[in-house]
């Protein structure tokens, strides 16, 4: 009996040591340099659940706000000061400033919120820093890692896109048509009394960008592709415990599959007929750096990225301009009264 008891104690102690060692290695990942302060959260899931905590559209994420705020003994909020004074170690543990480490989606991550640091990172893109996405995104955007992992390919795609949509491209190809169509669309929707700015901007972006991606589609096929692009959104980018998240995830997967089929069919048709078109698809097809799958993936990714980012920025711009009466009146004089 004593032998069994001793063996049990030894096994238990060994298991505790292994778990402690695993937890320590998780909390202190290896790095060639010095990592900023932060917490890696629980093993495997990291701080993903905290990252997905719900908040208002115009509010700062509680995840970022909690970690960006530094402990301030002169805080005006007396109650918060008392709590932090009483539980100082707990407060300091979650307040790291504008640069901190964490783990999200199972990927070790350094979060940057300081604009000077972000500017430096963008300057060093594909040099000291490589563009990438967490592995979880591949389930939605596809398994072709050339799209998100290789800096040279990403830079090349950006250059091709800028040739069509950059300063000169916008000046000569898009701005006049977009300005006219946007005005007509907003006037027609204004008669309804209210409109969703984010959805409206998304529709306008897809409407103008799709012909630049694939220029020879028939009207019905083009409308179908635009509907598919609109169906693919980032609503799935929420807590995995929400039913609506899994529904959005399924819709995104099916939308991606449908879009890929349409783009792939057009690509094969052009390869067989050797048709030439002045669009992004044809430019990528002729480029030796892309194979067929990379062309399809990139043509799909461009409108998705443009739609979700620009529509969000547009919504916020409208809100802040509307709240600033002076700016609103100045813009009204420039663009409406003149």
- Secondary structure (DSSP) of 138-150: HHHH-S-GGGTT-
Candidates 293, 303, 305, 257; CA nearest to 145 is: 293
pLDDT tens-place string over residues 197-248: 888 888 888 988 888 889 888 888 899 999 988 888 766 665 555 666 677 7
Q: Which pLDDT score, from 0 to 100, does residue 73 have?
A: 39
* Residues of the domain holding 321: 146-337
Cα separation of 323 and 308, whole Å? 23
Give the containing element (helix H, strand E) for 306.
helix 292-323
Point out the domain boundary residue: 123, 155, 186: 123
Q: Which pLDDT score, from 0 to 100, does residue 160 have?
A: 74
Shared-domain flag, residues 114 and 41? yes
60 vs 300 pLDDT, higher one: 300
136 located within any domain: no
Report, as an integer, the average pLDDT of 44-55. Answer: 80
Residue with tokens 């000169």: 168
Shared-domain flag, residues 152 and 116? no
317 located within any domain: yes
133 located within any domain: no
pLDDT tens-place string over residues 82-91: 334 444 444 4
Per DSSP bridges, beta strands 99-104 and 107-112 are antiparallel
134 located within any domain: no
141 located within any domain: no
Shared-domain flag, residues 257 and 304? yes
**Domain count within the chain:** 3
Shared-domain flag, residues 217 and 316? yes
Q: What is the pTM of this model?
A: 0.67
Cα separation of 228 and 259, whole Å? 6
Q: Which pLDDT score, from 0 to 100, does residue 97 have?
A: 80
Shared-domain flag, residues 53 and 179? no
pLDDT tens-place string over residues 278-311: 888 888 888 767 788 888 888 888 888 888 888 8
Cα separation of 203 and 218, whole Å? 19
Q: Which pLDDT score, from 0 to 100, does residue 145 have?
A: 47
Shared-domain flag, residues 62 and 5? no
Shared-domain flag, residues 16 and 43? no
pLDDT tens-place string over residues 8-42: 888 888 999 998 888 888 888 887 778 888 888 88
Copy the structure tokens of residue 149: 């992992």
* Least confident piece of the model among 48-57, 105-114, 322-331: 48-57
185 located within any domain: yes
Which CATH number is 200's domain given?
1.10.630.10
Residue 161's CB: how many other CB atoms inside 10 A?
21
Shared-domain flag, residues 155 and 174? yes
Shared-domain flag, residues 203 and 305? yes
Cα separation of 209 and 170, whole Å? 11
Candidates 220, 217, 295, 227; CA nearest to 255 is: 227
């Amino acid at each position: 009996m004593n032998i069994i008891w001793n063996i049990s104690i030894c096994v238990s102690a060994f298991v505790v040591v292994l778990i402690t060692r695993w937890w320590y290695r998780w909390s202190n990942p290896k790095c060639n340099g010095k990592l900023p302060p932060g917490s890696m959260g629980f093993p495997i899931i990291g701080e993903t659940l905290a990252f997905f905590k719900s908040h208002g559209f115009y509010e700062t994420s509680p995840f970022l706000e909690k970690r960006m705020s530094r402990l301030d003994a002169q805080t005006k909020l007396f109650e918060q000061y008392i709590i932090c004074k009483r539980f100082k170690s707990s407060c300091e543990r979650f307040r790291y400033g504008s640069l901190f480490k964490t783990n999200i989606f199972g990927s070790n991550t350094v979060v940057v919120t300081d604009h000077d640091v972000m500017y430096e990172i963008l300057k060093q893109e594909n040099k000291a820093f490589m563009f990438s996405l967490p592995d979880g995104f591949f389930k939605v955007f596809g398994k072709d890692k050339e799209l998100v992992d290789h800096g040279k390919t990403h830079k090349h795609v950006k250059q091709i896109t800028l040739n069509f949509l950059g300063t000169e491209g916008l000046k000569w190809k898009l701005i006049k048509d977009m300005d006219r169509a946007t005005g007509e669309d907003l006037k027609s929707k204004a008669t309804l009394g209210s409109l969703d700015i984010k959805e409206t901007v998304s529709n306008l972006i897809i409407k103008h960008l799709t012909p630049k991606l694939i220029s020879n589609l028939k009207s019905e096929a083009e409308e179908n592709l635009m509907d598919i692009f609109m169906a693919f959104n980032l609503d799935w980018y929420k807590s995995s415990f929400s039913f609506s998240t899994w529904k959005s995830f399924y819709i995104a997967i099916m939308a991606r599959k449908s879009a890929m089929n349409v783009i792939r069919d057009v690509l094969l048709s052009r390869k067989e007929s050797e048709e030439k078109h002045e669009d992004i698809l044809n430019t990528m097809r002729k480029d030796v750096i892309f194979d067929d799958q990379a062309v399809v993936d990139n043509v799909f990714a461009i409108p998705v990225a443009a739609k979700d980012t620009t529509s969000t920025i547009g919504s916020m711009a409208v809100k802040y301009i509307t709240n600033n009466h002076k700016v609103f009146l100045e813009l009204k004089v420039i663009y409406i009264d003149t």
